[in-house]
Amino acid sequence: MVVLFWVCAIVLVGTAIAVVGSRQPVHSVVGLIVNFSALAVLFLTLSAEFLAMMQIIIYAGAILVLFLFVIALLTVGNQPIETGEGRLAHQTVPAIAAGVAALGLIAFGVRTAWSQSAASPPADLGTVPAFGTALLTTHVFAFEATAFVLLVAIIGVVLMAGRKEIRF
């Protein structure tokens, strides 16, 4: 379990850096697929079986296919973006500094506040029956609200992408 965690951690961090750093968006998507798969394995080590399957199906299946379609739609025969200097180029150094500062602060806080792990979880934590019972009884209102959010997203996307004339 510990070895699996560290292998997945190295894969996650490496592919995350590849996603952020690669110049071609398609390479970023490939890195993101590996990243999401490693995260699904981490969900398995956290005894969240259903979440691991959802991670693969929704993220690596649906969302990344959406990204690939948009990349295929936008970048055919075009020059790559980010060749020249951007107007906000000077924000690189402050961004990295802020990131490192946030990393140090949060890591310090985590070390002091959550160094103790609790006792071992119940045996049925994260199984599909337990997850379904929790989702459809205790949290049924959040479940229905999520359905409404998806409905709003569908209507918004159709409204935005379906229009012919857009002025800026």
In the region spanning residues 61 to 100, those forming contacts with other proteins, defined by CB under 8 A, are 62-63, 66-67, 70-71, 73-74, 78, 81-82, 86-88, 91-92, 95-96, 98-100
Residues 101-140 touching other proteins, rule: CB under 8 A, are 102-103, 106-107, 110-111, 114-122, 125-126, 130-131, 133-135, 138-139
Asked whether 60 and 33 are in contact (CB, 8 A), the reply is yes
Q: How far apart are the first and last CA of the chain?
A: 54
Residues 4-63 touching other proteins, rule: CB under 8 A, are 5, 9, 12-13, 16-17, 19-21, 25, 28-29, 32, 35-36, 39, 42-43, 45-48, 50-51, 54-55, 58-59, 62-63
The type of residue at 133 is T
Residue 32 Cβ, how far from other proteins at the closest point, in Å? 6
Please name the residue that has the structure tokens 């055919």: 76
Q: Is 141 in the site for other proteins (CB under 8 A)?
A: no
Please name the residue that has the structure tokens 């029956």: 129
Residue 110 Cβ, how far from other proteins at the closest point, in Å? 4
CA 28 – CA 25 distance, rounded (Å):
5
Q: How many residues bind other proteins (CB under 8 A)?
A: 91
The type of residue at 153 is A
CA distances to 83, 108, 112 from 99, rounded to whole Å, are 24, 14, 20
Residue 51 Cβ, how far from other proteins at the closest point, in Å? 5
Residue 92 Cβ, how far from other proteins at the closest point, in Å? 5
Q: How far is CA 123 from the centre of its chain?
A: 28
